[in-house]
Amino acid sequence: MFDEIGLFFIILGVPFFLSGTVGLLRFPDIYTRLHALTKADNVGLGLIVLGLAFQADNWQIVTKLVLIWILVLLASSASCHLVARRAMQNQIQPWSRP
């Protein structure tokens, strides 16, 4: 039962990674690309971690998975902020419709 639930969450997380990648390739400027990557990848990773937690054998593995997810959340938000701030310092303007 837990294996099927875990597989469901893993399969549910994969489209979020795919949509983040599509956003990276198709969005017009750096700010929207960063938004697509950080939001979609964090949700996708969260769902995959949840799916793996259902399939884990003990609580130590679940704790490690959650800590990895938290570390990725902190790292991605910090790196996204740094890239966006550098883009603003280089006076890269956000995209707007003509």
Tokens of 18: 């795919």
Supply the pLDDT for residue 71. 95
**Total domains, the chain:** 1
Tokens of 11: 């399969």
* 79 domain-assigned: yes
> pLDDT grade, residue 4 (50/70/90)?
very high
pTM: 0.85
CA–CA dist 87, 71 (Å, integer): 24
**Residues 27, 25, 87, 98: is their CA dihedral positive or negative?**
negative
Average pLDDT over residues 40-56: 94
Average pLDDT over residues 59-83: 94
Q: What mean pLDDT, rounded, does the chain reach?
A: 92
Contacts of 85 (CB under 8 A, 6+ apart): none
* 10 domain-assigned: yes
Supply the pLDDT for residue 97. 82
* 96 domain-assigned: no
Supply the pLDDT for residue 95. 85
For residue 59, what are the domain limits? 2-89
* 80 domain-assigned: yes
